Structure 1
Amino acid sequence: MACGAIAQPAAEAAARHGWPLDVHPLPPLLHNRPERIAPAVAEAVADLGSRYDRVVVGYADCGTYGALDAVCRELGVERLPGLHCYDLFARPATVEVLSAEEPGTYLLTDFLVRSFARTVVRELGLDRHPELRDDYFRHYARVVWLVQTRDPAEQAELRGLAQEAAESIGLPLTVRHTGSGGLEAALTALVSPR
């Protein structure tokens, strides 16, 4: 089972590598309430465990502050490494450098670029209360889009959406190409036979 924000790239990696697995996504909006991630994962693993020989968790910690690790230990399953999906796409060292360069860095993945209007603007109520923007984002200084797609046409489309997202929260946009190699390497290690 996987975080809805990385389910599609995980399924694409599985297809490319011929891994005999199914990807079962959980709602990506769980990230807006990270205290709900560990219970949702526990429920999904319990359900999938009755149907599959092996279940792995396609989540980084994602703001659970160790609660997801506790669930994984209790259920005897493994999860992806890292604090969040940014570590998986850009690798932890790159995320650390970006944060050191500018502590007020707001990161976007391709998924977040596509869904920003729904997952951020609508869910935070900025569409109804734009005056909250400065309260939510006052400590940020820039948006960094971690580009995973290598398709030029898709990059061009997403570039426009990333610019709109950055402008909607009043921040400049920086683009960093990461690809999806970090996620693929982590998935390979996670799904390899034990």
Structure 2
Amino acid sequence: MMQPASLLVITCGAIAREVMAVAKSSGWQHLKVTQIPAELHNRPEKIPAAVEERLATYAADYDHVFAAFGDCGTGGQLDKVLQRYNIKRLSGAHCYEFYSGSENFAAMAEHELGTFYLTDYLAKHFEQLIMEGMGLNKHPQLIEMMFAHYTKLVYLVQEPNRQLDQFAQAAAAKLGLKYERVETGYGQMAKELATHYSNYTEQVIKWPS
């Protein structure tokens, strides 16, 4: 008998909803998504170990594993973990880049260097991850110090949502930044996931009859 190859996607919690939405809309099967807590964005040095723990727990049960991560501020340490397991990840440094596309993001970053970015997830959880997670509600004087070199907040929109627009505008106001909204959809991320899924499911496992 023949069985399609199975694929495990280890993803950052900040993009897990989008990864699963791409998988569902594409009708993909034989795929499991496991996520690393998005709160680790505030502690990126912990991301490599968290990913490796998932690999140790799940990887042997799947024919292929893919990491839906950028470098995410790990300074190349995540790539070292993935290389040991011969696992690929999304191209780019972070979710802002693979939502907008590498070329588009580079152009935006070059146009205005002092830019703070939000995605749908970060707009929704701005209070928890940024204001609370970085201690800005308790110590509002830190806002001016930490964001002194920023001039603009850009909200990269995956799925248009009026409430998230309002959250993003409120975030810009709290940080004292100009506001800009850019619709990206799932961008480069969806294309890369589709490529990896297609490559993996073209393979089959042959079992003794």
Bin for the TM-score computed over the shorter chain: over 0.9
Whether 1:181 aligns to 2:187 is yes
Shift of the alpha carbon at 1:133? 0.5
Q: How does 1:17-56 map to 2 (within 5 A)?
A: 17-20=26-29, 21-56=31-66
8 Å CA contact retained: 2:101, 2:187: no
How far apart, CA to CA, are the structure 1 residues paired with 2:94 and 2:102? 9
The amino acid across from 2:190 in the alignment is E
TM-score, normalization: structure 1? 0.94
The amino acid across from 2:13 in the alignment is G
How far apart, CA to CA, are the structure 1 residues paired with 2:126 and 2:50? 23
* Structure in which a larger fraction of residues adopt strand: 2
How far apart, CA to CA, are the structure 2 residues paired with 1:135 and 1:51? 47
Identical aligned residues as a percent: 37
TM-score, normalization: structure 2? 0.87
Deviations 1:38-80 (A, max 9, x none): 1111111111113322221110111112111111110121111
Query: Alignment RMSD, CA only?
Result: 1.1
8 Å CA contact retained: 1:58, 1:80: yes
Q: Which runs of 4+ in 1 moved over 4 A?
A: none
Aligned counterpart for 1:192 among listed residues 193, 198, 204: 198
Aligned counterpart for 1:109 among listed residues 74, 95, 119: 119
What is the aligned partner in structure 1 of residue 100 from structure 2?
A: 90
8 Å CA contact retained: 1:90, 1:182: yes
The amino acid across from 1:16 in the alignment is S
What is the aligned partner in structure 2 of residue 13 from structure 1?
A: 22
What is the aligned partner in structure 2 of residue 75 from structure 1?
A: 85
Looking at both structures, which has the greater relative contact order when contacts are Cα pairs under 8 Å and sequence separation is at least 6?
Answer: 2
Q: Which runs of 5+ in 2 are unaligned?
A: 1-9, 201-209
How far apart, CA to CA, are the structure 2 residues paired with 1:2 and 1:52? 15
Q: Which runs of 5+ in 1 are unaligned?
A: none
The amino acid across from 1:56 in the alignment is F
Aligned counterpart for 2:158 among listed residues 139, 144, 148: 148
